[in-house]
Amino acid sequence: MPKIDLLQAALTQLQPQHLELLDESHMHSRGQETHYKAVIVSEQFTGLNAVKRHQKAYASLGELMGQIHALALHTYTPDEWSQQGVAPASPTCKGGS
């Protein structure tokens, strides 16, 4: 099973109203299936700061985190997402060549 599918399945533990997972490995020099971007909209983030939201996402991924190089997390509550509606673009990787 492709790694992106494993990541997506694990992130469903957060019961997201919106989940977008992108393989951004092509933007980096470390090869395939190493760099991802996740946009997660979940009620579970309500009342949590960014650090706590990211910890919750990492916890849902468990051992999968050891299999990737980078994960850009964009976490929103449903209210925040309805106001913003889009996550920022990812920068090009500067290291790892």
| pLDDT tens profile 5-32 | 999 999 999 999 999 999 988 776 656 7
Q: How many domains, the chain? A: 1
In a domain, 16, yes or no: yes
Q: Tell me which residue range forms the domain holding 20.
A: 3-84
In a domain, 28, yes or no: yes
Q: Determine the pLDDT at residue 97.
A: 44
pTM: 0.84
In a domain, 33, yes or no: yes
In a domain, 91, yes or no: no
Among candidate residues 59, 65, 1, 76, the one with its CA nearest the CA of residue 35 = 65
Beta pairing partners, 22: 37
In a domain, 74, yes or no: yes
In a domain, 97, yes or no: no
Question: Which H or E run includes 93?
Answer: none
- d(Cα 5, Cα 43) in Å, to the nearest integer? 22
pLDDT tens for 33-88 read: 888 999 999 999 999 999 999 999 999 999 999 988 889 999 999 999 998 877 77
Q: What is the CA radius of gyration of the chain?
A: 13
In a domain, 95, yes or no: no
In a domain, 58, yes or no: yes
Read off the CATH number of the domain in which 72 is found. Answer: 3.30.300.90
